[in-house]
Amino acid sequence: MLEPNGSDTAPMNDVHTPSPALRLYGADISYFSAKVRAYLRWKGLPFEEVHANRDVYRHTIIPRIGFPVIPVVHTPEGAWLQDSTDIIDTLESQHPDPSIQPPGAVQQLVARLLELLGDEWLLLPAMHYRWHHNRDWAIQAFGALAMPEGSEAEQRSAGERSAGPFAQAAELLGAEPAMHAAVEQAYLGLLQELNTHFEQHPFALGAHASVADFGLYGPLYAHLYRDPASGAIMKQRAPAVVRWIERLSAAPVQPLAAFPATGQIPETLLPILARQMREQLPDLTETAHRFQAWLTLNPDEPVPRVIGKHAFRLEGQTGQRITRPYALWMLQRARETYLATRGDGRVAADQLLDQVGGDAFRRFEDPPPLRRDGMSVALVSA
């Protein structure tokens, strides 16, 4: 069944023929919709996008998924997929060529690490810049999405309502006023490192786009390039990042270039991985400790989306942020890739991790195996 409900069928992107197409419920302003959209385009999978307005949430997303979220993908076979990572994994297993998975063990590890960086850590600068530098624009954009036919005033008040929880999330994720300078310093440092990388390589791992690119593209396109004040910073400071975004926004160039030879990791990724190890890994370590403690006290409870707050460090400053077990599920993917790597591959992975200060990743004390459960996780054994 392709038509979920008669009232929401306004495909916005109809250039991908022929039908039957995948249907992506998403939005231009949405981080994880951008990740899935870039993937679908790169793969050349026919799709049409439905803007998730109020009616679409009410009549399609909430009844099908159980809670309000985008992106959601409806397949021509009738499956409803939620969560950008599961959407990409599922479609990738159905359409393996051209693969977005690089062939080498170390490349696969780096791809998973950069996916984790994009999906989880860059939430902080993305939400900070959107809600502390582009707030009026974002409220209007949320309003226009919710009520495309509404007047400016109606859109504004719908925007205030629907943007509320997202605006609050910027502070909850750690962008409290005292941390603004640190968040910006870290982001501008990363932007510079990414610019140096993309001056020399078309994609994260070289000649071919991988899951690393789609993970990074979510925040860097949807928030940090599209939001006007953030886009101005990117255009001024990081033109090679802008060109990478534009490359990923276009259809794939056929035939696709091959991944670089097994094992090769561009040198220009090392400062980016070192930053991730310095900034994100301590945060994930603390998240895992909090999660273990929570599990001990609540062995039979469903895991909530947030289990309190913890301290984190950025650019020498200490802030507070919410503790989200979901981030551990994303980390688990990178850890599984690492732990499955044996022999020469493991030696090379360890050498790379040593070069980037990745001891905390190598020796991470994994929580019990997790599966995704909506916007949180559950124990695989539960």
> Closest separation between CB of residue 122 and ligand GSH, Å?
12
Residue 172 structure tokens: 């909850």
Region of 333 (left: φ > 0; alpha: ψ -120 to 50; beta: rest) is alpha
3-class DSSP state of 206: strand
Q: Is 70 in the site for ligand GSH (CB under 6 A)?
A: yes
Among 16, 23, 25, 32, binds ligand GSH (CB under 6 A): 32
> Closest separation between CB of residue 85 and ligand GSH, Å?
5
3-class DSSP state of 264: coil
Task: Find out whether 2 and 20 touch, Cβ atoms under 8 Å.
Answer: yes
User: Which backbone phi and psi does 248 adopt, to 5 degrees?
Assistant: -75, -20
Contact partners, residue 374, CB within 8 Å, separation at least 6: 66, 67, 82, 305
Question: In terms of CB distance, is 173 or 183 closer to ligand GSH?
Answer: 173
x/- mask, ligand GSH, residues 176-215, rule CB under 6 A, reads ----------------------------------------
Residue nearest to ligand GSH (CB): 84
Q: Is 69 in the site for ligand GSH (CB under 6 A)?
A: yes
> Closest separation between CB of residue 225 and ligand GSH, Å?
15
Number of residues in contact with ligand GSH under rule CB under 6 A: 9
Q: Is 287 in the site for ligand GSH (CB under 6 A)?
A: no
Surface-to-core class of residue 289, CB atoms within 10 Å of its CB (0-12 exposed, 13-18 middle, 19+ buried): middle
Radius of gyration of the CA atoms of the chain, in A: 20
Among residues 44, 67, 48, 47, which one has the least CA distance to residue 57?
Answer: 67
Q: Is 84 in the site for ligand GSH (CB under 6 A)?
A: yes
Residue 1 structure tokens: 């069944």
Question: In terms of CB distance, is 28 or 199 closer to ligand GSH?
Answer: 28
Q: Is 85 in the site for ligand GSH (CB under 6 A)?
A: yes
Stretch in the footprint of ligand GSH (CB under 6 A) among 67-75, 201-209, 234-242, 276-284: 67-75
> Closest separation between CB of residue 258 and ligand GSH, Å?
28
Among 23, 30, 245, 356, binds ligand GSH (CB under 6 A): 30
Contact partners, residue 89, CB within 8 Å, separation at least 6: none
Among 83, 115, 213, 227, binds ligand GSH (CB under 6 A): 83
Q: Is 279 in the site for ligand GSH (CB under 6 A)?
A: no
Question: In terms of CB distance, is 350 or 373 closer to ligand GSH?
Answer: 373
DSSP characters for 337-350? Answer: HHHT--HHHHHHHH
Question: In terms of CB distance, is 103 or 302 closer to ligand GSH?
Answer: 302
> Closest separation between CB of residue 83 and ligand GSH, Å?
4
Diameter over CA atoms, the chain = 63
Question: In terms of CB distance, is 48 or 83 closer to ligand GSH?
Answer: 83
Task: Find out whether 114 and 35 touch, Cβ atoms under 8 Å.
Answer: no
DSSP alpha helix (H) spans, 44-117: 54-56, 62-65, 84-94, 105-116
Stretch in the footprint of ligand GSH (CB under 6 A) among 29-37, 38-46, 102-110, 188-196: 29-37
Q: Is 31 in the site for ligand GSH (CB under 6 A)?
A: yes
User: Which backbone phi and psi does 178 adopt, to 5 degrees?
Assistant: -65, -15
Which residues contact ligand GSH by CB under 6 A? 30-32, 69-71, 83-85
